[in-house]
Amino acid sequence: MRLLFALLLGITMTTTTKAAETITLGGGCFWCLEAVYDELRGVTSVVSGYSGGRMRNPTYGQVTSGTTGHAEVVEITFDPAVLSLDDLLDVFFAIHDPTTKDRQGNDVGPQYRSIALHRDDAQKGAIERAIARVAASGEYRGAIVTEVLPFDVFWPAEDYHQEYYAQHGSEPYCSLVIAPKIAKFRKKFAALRK
C-alpha cells in the first residue's frame, strides 16, 4: 500500500540495505591478511592491528615480544549485501593454516595464532560453521586450533603497518610470504575479487 501511495504521489522510495558489518580475524602476520582482503569484493576497509590481549594500546614491539597476549589481526569492514560472511570466512581459512598453534610458517609466537573474534551470536555461528566446513574438507591434516572468542577491543597498529604490502611489495618478506597467499586467493576465489 505504501508503495502504491508513493507511486501515485511520484515519490521515490528507497529500499533499506543491510548495514556494514565488521569482523576481526588473525591468521599470522597482519600484512598477509590485509593484502588479501584489500582485493575482496565488498570489503570497504581493512585495518591492521592487535586484539585478544591484556595491555591497553600496545605497540608492535610489545606485541611481538609475545608477552601481551595480543594477536596480530585485521579489522575488516564489509558490505554483507555484496559479500557474505561465509565467503569472507572461507577466504580466511584458505589463506592461513588454522592447524598450527601460535605460528604461521616462520612467524612463531602467540601473536601469530589463528583467532576469530565475533561481535554477536550470528558471527559466532558463522565462524563455527566455517570451521566445520574446513575440518570436513580434508584440506588440512591436523585439528583446527583457531580460537573463537567474543570481540573486546581492537588497537590499530602503527601507521607504517597499514597497507604494508601495497607500499613494500618488492621486499623479500612480501615476495616470499605475502605474494604466494595473494596468488592462492586469486586462483581459488577469482569470482570474489574486486
Cβ neighbours for 51, distance < 8 A, ≥ 6 positions apart: 24, 26, 70, 71, 73, 75, 115, 117, 151, 152, 153, 154, 155
Q: Give me 66's grid cell.
A: 609475545
Largest CA distance in the chain: 66
Catalytic annotation on 29? yes
Q: Out of 25, 29, 32, 131, pick the active-site residue.
A: 29
Residues noted as catalytic: 29
